[in-house]
Structures are given as C-alpha cells and as structure tokens.
C-alpha cells in the first residue's frame, strides 16, 4: 500500500492535468463555434435585407408605371406624386442591396443589369410624362401602345425573380450551415463534458459525489421559404417571418452556449477543489522517484491553466451576454413619448459622475438640448453609452472635458458628445460600431458591445451614429434620431424595423 501511494498521487496529478487540457479544448471549441454562429446569423440577416430591397425596386417601378398610366388617362397632375418619388426610392433600394451584398462578398453583377433596365424604364416613363405635360398626350399614349415599356417591365420582372431566387438559395444554404454549426457545438459539448466527468471522477473520487453530464437541447430553425410568389407583398411577408426566425434562433443559440459554459465553469471549480486537495499530497511525494514532472505541474502548469480557463470563460460569458442583449433588442417595441433631452442628459451625466470625478474631468451641456417624441429608455441607453465611452477613454495628457450639444430640424434631432480624450484613428472610425470590435489601446474593460448597441438603437429610432476624430486630440460622436418617433414608425416599412 505504501508503495502504491506515490503512483496514485502521480496518477491523480496526471488526470487533473488531462482534465485541464480537455477543458481548454472545450473552451476553445465553444469559442470558435460561437463566433462562426454569430457571423452566419449576421450574414443571413444582411442577405434578407438585400432581398427586401431588391423586391422594393420592382415595387417602385410598378408604382411609377401605375402613376404614369393614371396621369395619362385622367390628365390629373396629382397622379404624378408617387411617380416623382419612385425613382429615388428605387435607386436607394438598389444602393442598399449592393452595399449589403458587398459586405458579404457576394457577386452583385446581376444588380448592374437590373439597374440598367430599370433606368431605361424610368427614361421611358419620364418621356411619356414630359410629352403629356407639353400637351402631346396622344404621342405619349402612342409610346405606351408600342409595348416597349411592357417589354422592359417583363425584363425587370425576370431579372428580379432570378436575383431573388439566387439569393434565396444562398440564404437557405447559410441557414443549413448555421444548423450544422450548432450541431457540431452540441457534439463537442457532449463529448467534452463526458471526458471531463470521467477524468474528474477518477481523480477526485473521494471529494466529488456527483456530477451530471450536460444535456443540450436541439434547436430547430424552420427557414425553408416557398417558391417566390407572383405578388410582391406576399414575398415581403415571407422575408419578414424569416428575419424574425433568425432573431429567435440567435436568442436560442446564445442560451444553448451559456449552458455548456456554466458546465465548464462548474467543472473548473471542481478541478480547483481537487487540485487544492492534491497539492499537499504532491509536496509530500517530492522525494519519490519520477515525481519531479508531476510536482512541477502541480506548482506551475495546473494553476496557470486554471487561471486561463477562468479568464477565457469570463470573456465568453460576456460575449454570450452581448449576443443575448442584441437578440432581445430587435424584439423590443419602442414606446414614443415626449422626452426632455436636456433633463435626460443631466440624469445620464449623474450616472458617470463618479468616473469623471475620479479622473478630474468635467462635463458641460452647451445651451439647452431640444425635446423630442421618442423612446425614453432607448435614448437614455444611447446617451449613457456615449458618455461612459467618453469618460472611459480620456487622455492622461490633459484635463478631461466632455461637451454635449444638440440641434433639431422638423424631422431629425442630433446630439453631439464631444471629448478631448484619446481620439479614434481614421481606420477604426467605422469598425468601432461593429459588434465585438474595439480599437486603440485595450487598457480599459469592455466587450465591444456598447457602440454597436448605440448604432442599433439609433437606427431603430430613424437615425444613425457617426464619429469625427483626428485620432489624437479627441472625438465627436454625433447621434441622430427622428424628432417624432411616432410619425417615423407610422411611415416606416414594417418589414425593415427589426433588421
């Protein structure tokens, strides 16, 4: 028995080290699959927006043609109101679709052909309207009867359906990849959990009474869209349902990622307890033959590995929490109400006052900020995030100063948050608003979610957020929102609200 004790101690140390290795592999695999899942979910959402916008191009051409026909029939200029706005909206839809496909590195040459045919159709419509306005209605009607416009519309319809079919096929493929990534994550979690359970049971049989294996629920993402229907309105409703499914899927996947993470943290804690019991045993066996490597592992390798596991799981927990917050954000209904931005800003300043006082910085509201009809909670989150960001990245080379100012037009309200902190380099001024992206020296705590959250809220409220900076003497963050959120929501296309 005495001879067997050193071997048992060495075996326990080896098993503990093996358990740490398994946990490291599991943590790394979970991190890789979570990043892949997040990337695919964002790509599918962008592709769906592109499909909606391409459908919108066709809708605008139909509206323009209907407006032209109505004008030619009754000679009433009021019929031209939709006609005048259709071309600009169609070009905007095409530009957004090209932008979304460019972000995904998807071939957008099909949209070039569509743009050319649409332009010819609008030229034909412009020509007939101009003739009618010049008193040559019969000449305009003759052009319509020539069926050239009908041929252009047929070509536009064919190109639109072909492009939407191509993108729908691509979206379905990515959704399959999403499910495959989740399945692989499930397999990895199950195998890793079983391995850790067996190793921990052998190493700490006297200390651990029970540990259960991880059971991960399977998610089902119903993402099969039927063939494109002839009616554009029905197609748009299908795309809206697909977007809602993607948001629910991101929420479910985030929950399923949190479940194995909790298991990893629990197993790591069990290993730490086991290691605390094994360390004195390893010290008593240091004179035993062949014990040097095991003792070195107990003194240095295992503590370092456990420390890495704790830091990695904390980081992953923050990432999952961010995904959950953003997935919930898309489903929250905005509540328009009268908001005094001046008072709201002062309330938000009070929340970061302790950080400003600690840095010896000051904050000032320049003039009086306007009032808006908006969502109080969303506006509060936007201002609090921008103020916290400014306070966090003040420069040590000068006394910190933050200035808030506001401007308002009939439709838009802008709020500027200016600081004299570190600034933002030109190459980082667009990426800092992306999810989980940070810039500059990483000497402050954060998870790269705050500014992405600000941009999402600003866009939902009919605006956006931008930054100006020379990269060294401070930054000016400008957030714009609709002056009247209620009016904006009443006129906003419903299928785009949660994208």
Structure confidence at residue 498 (pLDDT): 47
What would the two tokens of residue 344 be? 């709201």
Structure confidence at residue 493 (pLDDT): 52
What would the two tokens of residue 169 be? 């096929």
The pLDDT tens digits of the residues spanning 77-120 come to 777 777 777 777 878 888 888 888 888 878 777 777 788 888 78
Q: Is 410 helix (H, G, I), strand (E, B) or coil?
A: coil
What would the two tokens of residue 302 be? 């295992």
Average of pLDDT values for 293-297? 67
Average of pLDDT values for 417-426? 86
Structure confidence at residue 405 (pLDDT): 94
Percent of the chain exceeding pLDDT 70 equals: 68
Rounded to the nearest 10°, the torsion over CA 109, 110, 113, 118 is: -130
- For 205-234, b/e burial (b = at least 16 CB within 10 A) is eeeeeebeebebeebebebebeebeeeeee
Judge whether 408 and 483 are in contact, CB under 8 Å: yes
Q: What is the mean pLDDT of the chain?
A: 75
Band (pLDDT 50/70/90 cuts) for residue 4 is very low
Average of pLDDT values for 3-17? 59
Identify which of 171-180, 216-225, 370-379, 416-425 has the greatest average pLDDT: 370-379
| Total number of residues shown for the chain | 499
Long-range contacts from 243-248, C-beta under 8 angstroms, 24+ separation: 243/45, 243/48, 243/495, 243/498, 243/499, 244/498, 245/221, 246/41, 246/44, 246/45, 246/48, 247/327, 247/330, 247/331, 247/498, 248/327
Structure confidence at residue 489 (pLDDT): 86
pLDDT beyond 70 at 445: no
Task: Name every residue whose Cβ is closer than 8 Å to that of residue 431 and which is 6 or more positions away in sequence.
Answer: 437, 439
Average of pLDDT values for 329-353? 84
Judge whether 306 and 271 are in contact, CB under 8 Å: yes
**Higher-confidence residue: 469 or 257?**
469
Structure confidence at residue 371 (pLDDT): 93
Structure confidence at residue 88 (pLDDT): 77
Structure confidence at residue 236 (pLDDT): 61
pLDDT beyond 70 at 384: yes
What would the two tokens of residue 465 be? 């957020």
Identify which of 174-183, 265-274, 312-321, 470-479 has the greatest average pLDDT: 470-479
Structure confidence at residue 2 (pLDDT): 46
Within a 10 A sphere around the Cβ of 159, how many other Cβ atoms? 21
**Higher-confidence residue: 405 or 213?**
405
Judge whether 454 and 464 are in contact, CB under 8 Å: no
pLDDT beyond 70 at 251: no
Query: From residue 308, how far is each of 20, 24, 366 by CA, in Å?
Result: 10, 8, 47
Q: Is 429 exposed, middle or buried (0-12, 13-18, 19+ CB in 10 A)?
A: middle
pTM of the model: 0.41
């Amino acid at each position: 028995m005495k001879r067997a004790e050193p071997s048992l101690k060495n075996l326990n140390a080896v098993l503990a080290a093996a358990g740490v290795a398994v946990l490291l592999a599991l943590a790394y695999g979970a991190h890789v699959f979570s990043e892949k899942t997040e990337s695919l979910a964002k790509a599918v959402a962008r592709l769906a927006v592109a499909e909606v916008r391409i459908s919108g191009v066709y809708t605008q051409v139909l509206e323009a043609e209907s407006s032209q026909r109505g004008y030619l029939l009754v000679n009433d200029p009021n019929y031209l109101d939709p006609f005048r706005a259709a071309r600009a909206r169609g070009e905007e839809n095409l530009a957004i679709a090209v932008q979304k496909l460019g972000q995904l590195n998807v071939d957008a040459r099909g949209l070039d052909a569509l743009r050319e045919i649409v332009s010819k159709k609008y030229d034909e419509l412009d020509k007939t309207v101009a003739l009618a306005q010049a008193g040559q209605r019969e000449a305009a009607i003759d052009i319509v009867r020539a069926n050239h416009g009908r041929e252009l519309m047929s070509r536009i319809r064919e190109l639109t359906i072909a492009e939407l079919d191509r993108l729908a096929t691509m979206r379905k493929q990515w959704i399959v990849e999403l499910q495959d990534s989740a399945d692989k994550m499930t397999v990895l979690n199950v195998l890793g959990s079983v391995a850790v359970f067996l190793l921990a049971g052998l190493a700490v049989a006297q200390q651990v009474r029970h540990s259960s294996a991880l059971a991960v629920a399977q998610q089902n993402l119903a993402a099969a869209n039927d063939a494109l229907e002839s009616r554009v309105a029905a197609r748009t409703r299908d795309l809206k349902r697909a977007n809602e499914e993607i948001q629910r899927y991101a929420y479910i996947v985030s929950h399923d990622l949190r479940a194995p993470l909790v298991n990893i943290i629990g197993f790591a804690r069990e290993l730490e307890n086991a290691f605390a019991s094994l360390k004195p045993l390893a010290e008593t066996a240091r004179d035993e033959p062949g014990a040097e490597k095991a003792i070195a592992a107990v003194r240095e390798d295992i503590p370092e590995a456990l420390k890495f596991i704790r830091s990695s799981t904390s980081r992953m927990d923050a990432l999952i929490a961010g995904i959950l917050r953003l997935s919930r954000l898309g489903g929250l209904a905005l509540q328009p109400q009268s908001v005094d931005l001046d008072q709201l800003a002062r309330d938000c300043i009070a929340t970061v006052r302790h950080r400003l006082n600690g840095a010896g910085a000051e904050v000032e509201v320049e003039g009086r900020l306007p009032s808006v009809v908006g969502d109080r909670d969303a506006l509060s989150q936007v201002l609090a995030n921008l103020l916290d960001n400014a306070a966090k990245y003040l420069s040590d080379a000068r006394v910190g100063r933050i200035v808030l100012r506001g401007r308002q037009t009939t439709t838009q309200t802008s709020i500027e948050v200016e600081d004299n902190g570190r600034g933002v380099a030109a190459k980082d001024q667009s990426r800092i608003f992306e999810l989980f992206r940070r810039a500059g020296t990483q000497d402050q705590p954060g998870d790269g979610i705050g500014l992405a959250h600000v941009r999402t809220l600003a866009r939902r409220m009919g605006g956006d957020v931008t930054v100006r900076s020379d990269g060294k003497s401070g930054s000016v963050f400008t957030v714009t929102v609709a002056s009247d959120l209620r009016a904006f929501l009443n006129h906003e296309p419903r299928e785009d609200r949660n994208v």
